[in-house]
Structure 1
């Protein structure tokens, strides 16, 4: 690993001076690189600000200290920058991708996404990755010359492909899209601005994806402990966490609970960041990519956990799934949130005029698919509290989600 604070650019890093550009060409900035401009456009977008009031796991009013989509996104960004710097990658691109990776999420976390996906089953479904692309290429309307944010090719590519290729070499849907197919929004945009859906994304995009996993593992443990869904003793069923807790107990016997939790979370993040850096350096050395495109053409990801830490990641998620994401208290809230989204969708599809004028404009005579997609766009952009407010406006009874 490179010494802390040492800046360098690896040959396989994305170089903003050699960006493939934007769909709508623009003059270069005299003060910022192309990826810095992308990062800044994302931060100043309406979709980014709304992350403040979108659920991570718990709904927004359960407490000020639980993660929201915004705090989670900031934490992912910090981890991504740290890994990118260690590997000689472009930190600004890694940060832009970390900041944008959750823009397409609905209110009420994955519950909202699942509900919208079910509502849209007959019209192409709903996918938060595809929705993020729609936001940054169509739905944000801030500029006089175009819709969207007009981000660079590298940022759009990373946004769509950070978890790997979407198509195989024969052009068939691949990976998570193998069964259902690649979302139409992605294919439509790719037809006018080829994102290379059959290759891996840049190393910077792969860093952002792993940073997301690290942040989830660490901070969902923290939030689950804070919510008393499980306790520190329960975490010892996960060997990786038991080892870290044992080290804390030996170094600081009798340490109070809240300091123990912070020490644990620090160690989880540090150990995973160090592992992904070392494993990625090993993979990059073996591949010896001459440039960023060589990373894209590789047979597998170059940014990854070691086998031991893949198992640690799997075991943490295996613990959190039943003990947090499927805990009875959380499942009760999820069921009520699901009802809110489904009822809003049905009402707006039946009566589009109930949406603000800018959202129902032009829907007179529209077919079912176009109307449903507009409604899905509107609901997906809602914060938790706005969705509840809209539900109270339209229905006699709205759940408290507590």
Structure 2
């Protein structure tokens, strides 16, 4: 029996606003269907098993080089988004497989050292080309479309990343959670696979499942960042204004529960995903408090200088090393040899700039590997 077809039939019980896997725009390259899993579930598995996902375990969420094992990493944040988004999708009768796949993949392109690293790489590429930029959600799309490797026995998929469905890729690239005042999301059904060629980080997602992930991204990090900041004694929960705590709660768990219940209450049976005005405004205020108390705290900004020096040093040095590419494979320094092998393995064509090759290599690093490479290059 084709169990997948039975599961696809069960999708007819979903909300009329849900994305059905049988209606997917599909993959860039054709593949035989899995006999058990839907296409969206298969995408989630590919992301989960990828090397890029594994490296999230050693990438910063907010707190650099944390010695406390209970401080949130980028991987834990991604799993938190997946858990919260799935709860909402299940209750709203949306496609959970699609929701979870988008959540798992939404930060695959994050640079080491969190948003600090993202800003450094953006500054580095702008030195080369003022029209260029580095945004982690756009790079996440690049990872799943080109950089991640999925080797098959025919080796026909190596040039198209994970070969994910359009809906999952659209959700990944459209997840931008840095618009603090955004708490009502409408899907854009005019999008097609061609839309991904000129996508902007502000574009609305194609599916409501992706809209859920986009809003949940903020819900997942805002309370957890406070929890971590309290744990490392950077602040106290009482530092948050009382009116915000009265509206959302006094713990990470209370904040998540309040916002999840509110989102479900205000989105059920509607062709949009939204929070109420009062909760949405309270969430925006809370994120701005996080900016003031955590993200711009002296301990964080001082360590950001180390991150900036590390990534800028790597970028400048590796870019210069490409002036004589063939010599890289014979250099004594193992970083250059790894960089050479990376470029060969990716099979770049002539349209890819040297700066892009460096960005691809550096953005894929974990925090600790980036520091080790920096020391290997600059150690006297």
Answer whether TM exceeds 0.5 for this pair.
Answer: yes
Distance 1:194 1:321 in 2: 31
**Shift of residue 163, structure 1, vs aligned partner:** 4.5
Q: Is the 8 A contact 2:174 2:214 kept in 1?
A: no
Give the drift of 1:280. Answer: 1.3
SS for the counterpart of 1:267 is helix
**CA separation of 1:157/1:369 partners in 2, compared to 1, >3 Å: closer, same or farther?**
closer
Q: CA offsets, 1:90-137, max 9 Å, x none?
A: 001000011111111000001111000000013312111111111101
- Counterpart in 2 of 1:145? 156
Partner residue in 2 for 1:185: none
Q: Which residue of 2 aligns with 1:241?
A: 245
The verdict on how the C-alpha distance between 1:388 and 1:154 changes in structure 2, with shifts beyond 3 A counting, is: same
Q: CA RMSD in A?
A: 2.7
Q: Which runs of 4+ in 1 moved over 6 A?
A: 191-198, 366-369
Which residue of structure 1 lines up, in the alignment, with residue 35 of structure 2?
30
Aligned residue number for residue 297 of structure 1: none
Decide which moves more: 152-161 or 105-114: 152-161
Alignment of 1:161-310 (within 5 A): 161-163=174-176, 190=194, 200-235=205-240, 237-242=241-246, 264-281=251-268, 284=270, 302-310=272-280
Aligned to 1:105: 110
Query: Aligned partners of 1:118, 1:33: CA distance in 2, in Å?
Result: 41
User: Could you tell me how far apart the structure 2 residues matched to 1:348 and 1:242 are?
Assistant: 51
Q: Which moved more, 1:371-380 or 1:114-123?
A: 114-123
Determine if the alignment matches structure 1 residue 132 to structure 2 residue 140.
Answer: yes
2:364 counterpart residue number: 381
2:57 corresponding residue in structure 1: 52
Aligned residue number for residue 317 of structure 1: 287
In 2, Cα distance between the equivalents of 1:125 and 1:195? 13
**Within 5 Å, which residues of 2 pair with 1:64-143?**
64-121=69-126, 122-123=128-129, 124-143=132-151
TM-score normalised over the length of structure 2: 0.81
Q: CA deviation at 1:232?
A: 2.5
SS in 2 for 1:62: coil
Distance 1:318 1:362, change over 3 A: closer
Question: SS in structure 1 opposite 2:142?
Answer: helix
Give the 3-state SS of the residue equivalent to 2:235 in structure 1: coil
Number of aligned residue pairs: 332
Q: Is the 8 A contact 1:359 1:374 kept in 2?
A: no
Cα separation, 1, equivalents of 2:85 and 2:247: 25
> How high is the TM-score relative to the length of structure 1?
0.77
CA distance, structure 2, for counterparts of residue 192 and residue 58 of structure 1: 32
SS at structure 1 position matched to 2:268 = helix
Check conservation: 1:162, 1:201, Cα contact below 8 A: no
Structure 1 unmatched ranges of 5 or more: 1-6, 165-174, 176-188, 246-260, 288-301, 398-402
User: Matched residues in 2 for 1:65 and 1:127: separation?
Assistant: 28
Tell me, which stretches of 5 or more residues in structure 2 are unaligned? 1-11, 183-192, 323-327, 329-335
SS in 1 for 2:222: helix
Aligned equivalents of 1:386 and 1:163: distance in 2? Answer: 26
* Structure 1 contact 112–338 (Cα < 8 Å) conserved: yes
